[in-house]
Structure 1
Amino acid sequence: MDFSKEWKFFLGEQENGQAVEFNDADWDTIDVPHDWSVEASFSEELEGATGYLPGGIGWYRKTFEAPHHPVAYLHFDGVYNQATVYLNGEKLGDHPYGYSPFYFEVSDKLKHGRNVLAVRVDHSRYCDSRWYTGSGIYRSVELLGAAKTHIPVWGTFVTTPKVSTEMATVQVQVEVRNPDGATVATSIFDPAGNHVAEHSMPASKAIIQSMEVANPMLWDVDGPNLYTAVTTVSVDGGAVDEYTTRFGIRTIRFDAAEGFFLNGKNRKIKGVCLHHDGGCVGAAVPKDVWRRRFAALKAGGCNAIRIAHNPGSSEFLDLCDEMGLLVQDEFFDEWDNPKDKRKNMNEQHDDYISRGSAEYFQEWAERDLKDTMRSHRNHPCIFQWSIGNEIEWTYPRNAEATGFFDADWSGNYFWEQPPHSIDEIKRLLKELPRGEYDIGETAQKLAKWTKALDTSRPVIANCILPSSSYESGYADALDIIGFSYRRVIYDYGHRHYPKLPVMGTENLAQWHEWKAIEERPFVSGTFLWTGIDYMGESNGQWPITTTRSGLLDRAGFEKGSFHMMKTLWSEEPHVHLTTQTLEKSPYHTNNGDLGETDPKAWERKLWVWHDVNTHWNYNDGEMVAVEVYSNCASVELFLNGESLGVKHLKDFDDRIYKWAVPFKAGKLEAKAVNVSDKLITAGIPVSIQLVADGCHVIAQLVDAEGTPVKTDEREISFDATGGRILGVDNGAPDSTQDYQSNKVATSQGRCLVVVEGTCNVSASAKGLAGAHIAVEAV
């Protein structure tokens, strides 16, 4: 049973909220997934770490009639966080971690007729992460029924230990409850639904079925072919259970000298890090929101995602399977010791609201890790298990041993070799106080748990201080070591520890980062920080609620860094034209050419791409810095049909074509072979243009000629007749407008509404002609 509809919700503490006869008639009626934090207004009085939105305590209740099954399970894909679950007034259990899936067997607790499920969610420690988490039952819930003899939740595991173009061996590991006298038969179907293999054998508690698939269609980022294994459990010749597992046939290999291989082909990992919020919909992200975002990232050449810094939802992984995106699934941001949620440098804190997952790591880590793996391990998109993110800072002796005592996020840490020699680091690690927990011992424990469930994928971690991690025992637990913003020591790692593969697992979205990887075959690739702007990590920056390092903004609109990375990651010819007043640009003019005071400044660009526009609206004669991002060997710029010169990519070390152009109204156009981009001077806005993309409707102000107007802002009101508005946004990081609204002011003349259901969306603004568009449910 899909448990997404008709829940009752109350924000606040509620005595006896679990009681069967409790009167919840005046509670809100909602559907899950649900995030109550995103429904609130932003407030400067709250914490920037989690995006200036609140947490709190919330209660959920669902009344239902369950069909009779001998065995039943209640499955949650994720609840944020500190969940306590009750069925018919009886406590089933607690689940503190907000990102791991969990379930309860409820066979003897369901009643004939009316049942009441209640969930108390305590997110009063709302600053318990360094980013926006959301609050509530923000992932799917379902009730699963089965016969006495059955395959339990997460009861299959499919691997492909031998793969060639002619034949693939598929192994299906099956767990069976009450197997006596039963038979297990598995049939495999190819992506077109053709039956291609089968195996039958007597059941036991755990069996492995091995089958051969001829001429397999491989799962690849360029062709995400998905097979289906249908496993049937029979007793006395009659089927009593059927369990479907989707999987892919593929091989992965990491080589310390040559990098990453997918299906035997050497390729670079062109990845991005993503937090789990979807902008205006918060943490309860509809699948189609991820689809639009993934499609944009793939169009920019991205082939991999690191889910930072927590396990993702099943729907997220399903979509990566279907669209061909490799995934690094990350378990934890904290281990034994807490991180400071506000500064991310001083790792100790004492206040209640910022206590995070380190509080229950000792008790719950193994269960959270293994439950995540059992739930996720059949997804072919997952090619790495990450046991942790930037953990080293939380173990003081490891940070101190590196010599980076005063790590400076705009200075030495990014560009300098480790201040201490290897011998000095070893000495300090022996002499400095160890603390209650040891980073190497914990890493070994986590890696051991991971390998107990899956040896087909490597174990990795994102190391912020790799020079100490190599010596502390941390790196010894890893199959691959990931560097966080340490591209300057790729050679150091490869030279001193040549047997351990290395890659960037958190890097800046800048050309210098990719150049370092491109020049080194032994570096498998990178995950840029980040693919999309995310809410939170905005301490002391009000009204900025969002971290701005994304290739896409919070509403999924492309930024300058997106187009730069597309020119590096995609072989398709690409030209993207941007402008900015010379005064606001990073450049000055020298004999008519644009340049920076330091010609090597591009080598040390950091988090946020410099401010650029995609319009041609300035004051007459005003000097404008024109940039073109392109992977073409040469580009010619035209203003109103007159050539402003041909320039060559080889002449720009920073890979940015530049012209200094006095403004004149009309058309500015950049042309390369078979590809171009243009900007046209816009007049005053007269109407709204709507474009639908799945559940999204993008509204753009346009002039009388239909030219986008990007220098005038208006408040747009939306209506979704026949459907429901899930949220509105304009993508601007300093916008504090309510997401849960039917109106929003534009930024760069545009905004976005996300809707649910088949509906007619209309948009209106004062003084402008309105517009409407039909949207089909997805």
Structure 2
Amino acid sequence: MNLSYSIFLLAIAFSVCACHGDTDRERTSFNADWQMMKGDFTVQTIGEAGEQLWEPVRLPHDWAISQRPVKGASMKNYGHYPLPGTYWYRKSFVLPEEDQDKLISLYFEGIMRDATIYLNGEQVGRWVYGYTSFPVNLLPYLKFGEGEVNELLVRLHLTKKFTRWYTGAGIYRDVWMIKTNPTHFVHDGVFITTPTVQNDYAIVNVETEISSAASFSGKGLVEAFILNSQDEVVAQGKRVADFRAGETISVEQELKVLKPNLWDIENPYLYKLVTKLKIDEMRVDELETNFGIRTFRFDANEGFFLNGRHVKIYGVNNHHDLGPLGTAFNLRAAERQLEILREMGCNAIRTSHNPSAPGLLDLCDRMGFLVMNELFDSWTIPKGVHDEGYTPKHWDDWWEKDLKTFVRRDRNHPSIIMWSSGNEIPEQRHEKLAQLSREITDEFHKYDPTRPVTAGFNLNKDAVENGFVDTVDVVGWNYATKFGDWYNDFRARPEFKDKPQIATETVSTQSSRGYYRFPYGEPNLNGPENQACSYVMRAPHYGLPPDMELMRQATSPSLAGEFIWTGFDYIGEPWPYEEDSTLSYYGLIDLCGFPKDIFYNYQSAWRPNYDMVHILPHWTWPGREGKLTPIHVFTNGDEAELFVNGKSHGKRRKGEGNTMVKSFSRHDAGSLAKFTNRMIWEDVIYEPGEVKVVAWKNGEKIAENAIHTAGEVARLQLTADRKKIRADYEDLSFITVDAVDDAGRFVPTFNGTLEFSVEGEGELVALGSGNPTDFTPMQGGSTYRAFNGKCLAIVRGIDGKPGSITVRVKGVPARITAEDVYSSVEVTGRKKTAPHSTQFESGEIIVTTEL
């Protein structure tokens, strides 16, 4: 069976247009000039809160990320951040008298969570789920005219046990004020599909919902124009519509695009749809919508196809925080994450386990990422003690509303290839609840019949026996490799021969960037430093090492691909060190965007034509002279040779047993060696100097790399991802601080405290290092400890003030305590590397801002 879908999508954006000839549809940012406070008040008693309790903020805003994590059992899943409580946001604004004939609403892209909105003392809206976007109609409580001040209050409440990870707290996504004519295009009411896509033409269907004013009945004209990337009209159409007072109608149009450029992960070509509404020759409303034309299908035998071409899905799961920024959405921060993932070879994102910010989907459209768009982490049955909020308390009243607004908001994005209804839902254990899964799938199809629905099943046998796999279009498996050759075994069953499969979560191994544990071969976890070993040869009980999953992916041709848990480390879920850590350890990339060793394992597999060699561990080990220090290499080559101080330690060839040897004795090393890009030399004795690896493919040299023993830190080297940014509140520059010796060699053992200063037309936004055990607040301070040679500073410009930003960093003398973090540990003897001196050259970098 083939699940075929021919669609194109849009990221909804409203343009300014003339209405009634003298007024405009407006969609303006409502992010500035807010105040917030945390306190257990009601709308009746909020006036008793002293003015000193209110602090000025600008949205998007995550209150919790600026706080110091507090160790406590009730908050360890949140990374010890003090999330629970009642929060208040307020904003005053004035509207001109000429707006009285407008419909005026606010559009909240995300409030965490259980939000109630008040205008001038009256409740105008409520939304429980913290991840879905929603509009709030401000009529009839608005005031108009000079001196008539409107007071907006937003109350949100986070219970003590409502999540399994860090969610942030606050109005953490954008807010928009939207003004329209009484007769107008309905919000998220445009739906575009392409039932026919061929090389010479594509048929584009546009369905548009229009709401008529209570006093208007009559005829109107709906015009549609499709523009290419050069803003040239390539198709157009018009249709007369009959309006009835106070009702909503739907108008359908069919347009034909000749020789369409297809949206693809390698060429994410976007068109623009301009939709105009006219009454009596007067333009009443106008929308602009970006979209893409493409086809895709899931095949039960051969996997996934995009525009007729087989594509293996190389995906990652990502939670919604943005590292040191917390959950406050920032477009540039999200773009940087995607850029780093693209460098690894990633082509797909699973929005685990909730709807993302609309801006992330816009980026995926523009940058060519596939998206598995997920709605819920749980349904009616709570997951342990962490579901005191939405599930099950609000499920019956809210799930259909959340699903509707979720699908209608996102259904036009070309990047989205499937919806996900849930993740590891406990309902899998109950046969009678399979009907609920079917109802949810049907509800998705009600609002979007063009895409398949999946869910991430982790109780594989229960999901099969209780009928859950029959309720979704594509079966999603979490950690199925732990059941052996599950993908092929499932495919071989006659009753499932037409059911496509995808691995919705895989691997789940843990590591700390630049940290290695000896003696070699000890488990990744449970060491005295609360860090996880970067050799990554072990996995939690529910997962398997990446090499094993890579083998299963390569030998399961019917599988569409995988989503690794996770792309980036995230805040919260610091298992197994819940008491002493704030971050997860699962990422291929650390919280600050610094790749871990496992990143290069996947780069060598997912980018087979990118010639590379990565060597681990680092080679700065004072005190380890003469001790066994195994070397691992990741390469896209099929053969590699290791040299230590010029002496060859022999070659390893892909497919031969000695590439994996006893380190993976739990598994079939011989079979594994055929599919992994990891090559191992276990018998290397440490001696300071140079480690070099040369790689070949098909007998030709393709790459080489060398690492060296570093000396004492001589200076701090600063590198900005972008040295020119916009002079506004949103754009950011991410500055990496590397400790280097007098020869410019990276010093991977440096963990000293650094002090940052910023001068000029900019400000310091956040600091971080990717160290899971560091409880220092990532915002609000000017000092932070490096972790294994690295630190990160994030700066931004000042809105409307172009100029330059000078960022300086220097070492801070500090006492060495038992809590100091080092890059290695001898398990048996608890031997630590020596601390570095703070007598070294400070670093400086200049970033310019422009309008």
TM-score range, shorter chain: 0.7 to 0.9
Partners of 1:136 and 1:440 lie apart in 2 by 35
Query: Does the 8 A contact of 1:220 with 1:250 survive in 2?
Result: yes
Partners of 1:615 and 1:38 lie apart in 2 by 34
Tell me the residue number matched to 1:379: 413
1:25 Cα deviation from its structure 2 partner: 6.7
1:517 Cα deviation from its structure 2 partner: 2.0
Partners of 1:18 and 1:154 lie apart in 2 by 36
Secondary structure of 1:155 counterpart = strand
Equivalent position to 1:723, from 762, 775, 781:
762
1:107 Cα deviation from its structure 2 partner: 3.8
1:232 Cα deviation from its structure 2 partner: 1.0
Residue identity matched to 1:700: D
1:165 Cα deviation from its structure 2 partner: 2.1
Residue identity matched to 1:99: Y
Equivalent position to 1:106, from 118, 121, 138:
138
Query: Does the 8 A contact of 1:331 with 1:387 survive in 2?
Result: yes
Residue identity matched to 1:756: R
Partners of 1:18 and 1:460 lie apart in 2 by 46
Query: Does the 8 A contact of 2:114 with 2:126 survive in 1?
Result: yes
Whether 1:774 and 2:809 are equivalent positions in the alignment is no
Equivalent position to 1:524, from 548, 557, 560:
560
Which of 749-758 and 369-378 deviates more?
A: 749-758
Partners of 1:148 and 1:34 lie apart in 2 by 32
Residue identity matched to 1:625: P
1:341 Cα deviation from its structure 2 partner: 4.4
Whether 1:765 and 2:811 are equivalent positions in the alignment is yes
- Pick closer, same or farther for the CA change 1:317–1:617 going to 2, 3 Å: farther
Residue identity matched to 1:458: P
Tell me the residue number matched to 2:678: 656
Matches within 5 A, 1:618-633: 619-633=624-638
Instruction: Report how many aligned residue pairs link the two structures.
Output: 695
Whether 1:551 and 2:588 are equivalent positions in the alignment is yes
Q: Deviations over 1:123-177 (max 9, x none)?
A: 1x14311111111101110100111221121121112221122211111111111
Equivalent position to 1:670, from 665, 669, 693:
693
Partners of 1:247 and 1:573 lie apart in 2 by 31
Secondary structure of 2:393 counterpart = helix
Query: Does the 8 A contact of 2:329 with 2:357 survive in 1?
Result: no
Whether 1:5 and 2:32 are equivalent positions in the alignment is yes
Partners of 1:679 and 1:308 lie apart in 2 by 36
Aligned-residue sequence identity (percent) comes to: 33
Query: Does the 8 A contact of 2:605 with 2:677 survive in 1?
Result: no
Which of 43-52 and 245-254 deviates more?
A: 43-52
Tell me the residue number matched to 1:327: 371
- Pick closer, same or farther for the CA change 1:197–1:18 going to 2, 3 Å: farther
Residue identity matched to 2:91: K
Tell me the residue number matched to 2:823: none
Residue identity matched to 1:765: G
Partners of 1:259 and 1:562 lie apart in 2 by 24
Equivalent position to 2:448, from 454, 465, 472:
454
Tell me the residue number matched to 1:58: 87
Which of 270-279 and 45-54 deviates more?
A: 45-54
Whether 1:494 and 2:491 are equivalent positions in the alignment is yes
Residue identity matched to 2:167: T
Partners of 1:687 and 1:550 lie apart in 2 by 29
Query: Does the 8 A contact of 1:493 with 1:502 survive in 2?
Result: no
Query: Does the 8 A contact of 1:19 with 1:88 survive in 2?
Result: no
Secondary structure of 2:599 counterpart = helix
- Pick closer, same or farther for the CA change 1:184–1:322 going to 2, 3 Å: same
Secondary structure of 1:75 counterpart = strand
Query: Does the 8 A contact of 2:620 with 2:688 survive in 1?
Result: no
Partners of 2:298 and 2:849 lie apart in 1 by 41
Which of 58-67 and 96-105 deviates more?
A: 58-67
Partners of 1:498 and 1:614 lie apart in 2 by 51
1:446 Cα deviation from its structure 2 partner: 0.7
Tell me the residue number matched to 1:606: none
1:470 Cα deviation from its structure 2 partner: 2.7
TM (normalized to structure 1)? 0.86
Q: Deviations over 1:236-270 (max 9, x none)?
A: 11212111111111111011111111111111111
Residue identity matched to 2:155: R
Whether 1:27 and 2:99 are equivalent positions in the alignment is no
- Pick closer, same or farther for the CA change 1:148–1:25 going to 2, 3 Å: farther
Query: Does the 8 A contact of 1:255 with 1:501 survive in 2?
Result: yes
Residue identity matched to 1:739: M
Tell me the residue number matched to 1:401: none
- Pick closer, same or farther for the CA change 1:371–1:20 going to 2, 3 Å: farther
Q: Deviations over 1:639-689 (max 9, x none)?
A: 344443333222221532222333333322212223222212211112111
- Pick closer, same or farther for the CA change 1:126–1:720 going to 2, 3 Å: farther
Q: Deviations over 1:45-67 (max 9, x none)?
A: 24221211112111000111235
Tell me the residue number matched to 1:635: 640
Query: Does the 8 A contact of 2:619 with 2:708 survive in 1?
Result: no
Unaligned runs of 5+ in 2: 1-27, 243-248, 509-545, 660-672, 696-700, 723-732, 799-804, 813-838
- Pick closer, same or farther for the CA change 1:491–1:84 going to 2, 3 Å: same
Secondary structure of 2:276 counterpart = strand
Partners of 1:294 and 1:91 lie apart in 2 by 39
- Pick closer, same or farther for the CA change 1:516–1:709 going to 2, 3 Å: same
Partners of 2:272 and 2:615 lie apart in 1 by 46
1:195 Cα deviation from its structure 2 partner: 1.6
Query: Does the 8 A contact of 1:18 with 1:86 survive in 2?
Result: no
1:17 Cα deviation from its structure 2 partner: 7.1
Equivalent position to 2:225, from 167, 187, 210:
187
1:449 Cα deviation from its structure 2 partner: 0.9
Query: Does the 8 A contact of 2:645 with 2:691 survive in 1?
Result: yes
Tell me the residue number matched to 1:596: none
Whether 1:744 and 2:784 are equivalent positions in the alignment is yes
Partners of 2:157 and 2:472 lie apart in 1 by 35
Query: Does the 8 A contact of 1:618 with 1:663 survive in 2?
Result: no
Secondary structure of 2:679 counterpart = strand
- Pick closer, same or farther for the CA change 1:38–1:752 going to 2, 3 Å: same
Which of 66-75 and 445-454 deviates more?
A: 66-75
Which of 627-636 and 64-73 deviates more?
A: 64-73
Matches within 5 A, 1:195-344: 195-204=233-242, 205-341=249-385
TM (normalized to structure 2)? 0.79
Residue identity matched to 1:35: D
Tell me the residue number matched to 1:440: 434
Whether 1:692 and 2:720 are equivalent positions in the alignment is yes
- Pick closer, same or farther for the CA change 1:328–1:748 going to 2, 3 Å: same
Unaligned runs of 5+ in 1: 343-348, 399-428, 430-437, 581-612
